[in-house]
Amino acid sequence: MKKCAVAGKCGACSYLKTEYAEQLKIKHDYVAGLFPKQNVSEVKGMKDPYHYRHKVYASFYQDRYHHIHAGLYEENSHRHIDSSACLIQHVKANQILKTICETADKMKLSAYHEDSGMGVLRHAYIRVSSFNGDVLLVIVIGSRELPGSKHFVQVLTKAHPEIRTIVLNYNHEKTSMILGRRDKVLFGRGYITDQINGISYRISSRSFYQVNPKQTEVLYQTALQLADLKENETVLDACCGIGTISLAAAKQAKHVTGVEISPEAIRDAKNNARYSNIENVTFYAADITAFLKKNRQHFDTVILDPPRSGMGEAAMRSIAGIAPDKIVYVSCNPVTQAEDLKTLNGKYKIQKIIPVDMFPFTKHVECVVLMSNK
């Protein structure tokens, strides 16, 4: 097993000293405890569980010698820890973070200080495409402008030619949110492309996209295998995001309807459909409960992939109200998943539960549940 210099401090990798096979067993037993009357399949794990995060966030700070560092917050504190050698972050992202800090020192750029509201560099967001290695870099600043931005871009793109686009984000507010409301593209097109199961996606600074591309393919393949879609079936993807599951399902089904509350995500979903020449899919920016009140049509299969907070009782009852034959629920939080599925008791029966390890060395686990209409 590899050793981490900040193990036990940052708090992100609570299982860093646990053998990977044991991690998978722990996660299986955790899911089984949430579904005590069900048979839970073995967790689908990774061959190599290191450096799987292709999406990296880091906060900038300065040490007592005024050198810039990029890192995370220590567990249960507001103290920074340098994360530029993180064992779960993509190697290229770690290298870019180091170059940013070295360049900032040479340019005498300061780190943003939350209490005083002074300084320039606040956060970095890096996305690495698993398909072609292209990199999207977002620099979040707390100042009005980035001094020497042209030189900054030239240095970074020369040192790392795989950086295809750099976006400057302005966040002047006292908030825990990483990104502010306004963006400015400094270099490139403002997005990169990636592929999941042969379908191409454009990823911008605000696109929701899974952090672990290898396991994302496993996760979506698992969900679609359980859905077992037919050519004459209609599908509702109730939390479609940028269309990752919707477009894959559209290759198997008659028609897919994707619903997502975020207009920005729906814009990306429509672009991705055009980009991949997939026409049997329609996307709507709407709350799923409100959408189903207006559209009472029947769907053969409903696919759910909500945020950690889950769907909620109102949404689950709305979905049960249209009586789909099958429900495939994909969740990054099995606790809220189990709570949501309780609202379907009496109407739907759990057929299969398959956990997928998207986040090795952490306590988190993804879970796919297939339910059939009684």
In a domain, 130, yes or no: yes
Identify residue 128 by its one-letter amino acid code. V
List, for residues 199-228, the tens digit of each pLDDT value: 998 888 888 888 999 999 999 999 999 999
Asked which of 127, 162, 196 is the last residue of a domain, the reply is 196
Identify residue 11 by its one-letter amino acid code. G
Residue 63 tokens read as 């040490």
Note down the domain range covering 44.
20-48+212-373
Chain centroid, CA 53 distance in Å: 10
Q: Are strands 199-204 and 68-73 parallel, antiparallel or unpaired?
A: unpaired
List, for residues 148-192, the tens digit of each pLDDT value: 999 999 999 999 999 999 999 999 888 888 999 999 999 999 999
**332 is an active site residue:** yes
CB-count exposure of residue 230 (10 Å: 0-12, 13-18, 19+): exposed
Q: What are phi and psi of 55, to 5 degrees?
A: -125, 120
List, for residues 276-291, the tens digit of each pLDDT value: 999 999 999 999 999 9
In a domain, 72, yes or no: yes
State residue 198's pLDDT score: 87
In a domain, 4, yes or no: no
In this structure, the answer to whether residues 218 and 358 fall within a common structural domain is yes
Task: Give the total residue count for the chain.
Answer: 374
Measured distance CA(243)–CA(321) in Å, rounded: 24
Give me the CATH number covering residue 329. Answer: 3.40.50.150
In this structure, the answer to whether residues 239 and 365 fall within a common structural domain is yes
Residue 234 tokens read as 């209609």
> Is 80 exceeded by the pLDDT of residue 46?
yes
> If you ran DSSP here, which 8-state letter would residue 39 be given?
P
In this structure, the answer to whether residues 230 and 348 fall within a common structural domain is yes
Residue 270 tokens read as 């429509």
Count of domains observed in the chain: 2
Report field, pTM of the whole predicted structure over 0.85: yes
In this structure, the answer to whether residues 229 and 191 fall within a common structural domain is no
In this structure, the answer to whether residues 135 and 94 fall within a common structural domain is yes
Query: Nearest CA to 357 among 23, 86, 8, 69?
Result: 23
In a domain, 125, yes or no: yes
In this structure, the answer to whether residues 237 and 320 fall within a common structural domain is yes
Give me the CATH number covering residue 59. Answer: 2.40.50.1070
State residue 293's pLDDT score: 92
Question: H-helix or E-strand containing 104?
Answer: helix 91-106
Q: How many helices (H) and strands (E) does the chain have?
A: 9, 16
In this structure, the answer to whether residues 174 and 299 fall within a common structural domain is no
What percent of the chain has pLDDT above 90?
A: 82
State residue 67's pLDDT score: 95
Residue 5 tokens read as 């210099």
Measured distance CA(169)–CA(181) in Å, rounded: 8
Chain centroid, CA 115 distance in Å: 29
> Is 80 exceeded by the pLDDT of residue 324?
yes
In a domain, 226, yes or no: yes
In a domain, 190, yes or no: yes
Measured distance CA(356)–CA(360) in Å, rounded: 10
In this structure, the answer to whether residues 69 and 87 fall within a common structural domain is yes
Measured distance CA(349)–CA(84) in Å, rounded: 46
In this structure, the answer to whether residues 174 and 41 fall within a common structural domain is no
State residue 1's pLDDT score: 82
In this structure, the answer to whether residues 230 and 357 fall within a common structural domain is yes
In a domain, 205, yes or no: no
State residue 4's pLDDT score: 84
Q: DSSP readout, 105-158?
A: HHTTPPBPBTTTTB-SEEEEEEEE-TTT--EEEEEEESSSS-TTHHHHHHHHHH
Asked which of 138, 161, 196 is the last residue of a domain, the reply is 196
Asked which of 169, 196, 223 is the last residue of a domain, the reply is 196
C-alpha radius of gyration, the chain, whole number: 22
In this structure, the answer to whether residues 360 and 326 fall within a common structural domain is yes
In this structure, the answer to whether residues 174 and 236 fall within a common structural domain is no
List, for residues 124-135, the tens digit of each pLDDT value: 999 999 999 999
- Point out the catalytic residue in the list 10, 13, 239, 332: 332
Q: What are phi and psi of 69, to 5 degrees?
A: -130, 155
List, for residues 78-126, the tens digit of each pLDDT value: 778 888 889 999 999 999 999 999 999 999 999 998 888 899 999 999 9
Query: Nearest CA to 236 among 286, 296, 304?
Result: 304
In a domain, 238, yes or no: yes
Measured distance CA(74)–CA(11) in Å, rounded: 7
> Is 80 exceeded by the pLDDT of residue 345?
no
- Residues 86-101: b if buried by 16+ CB within 10 A, e if exposed: bbbbbebbbebbbbbb
Chain centroid, CA 2 distance in Å: 25
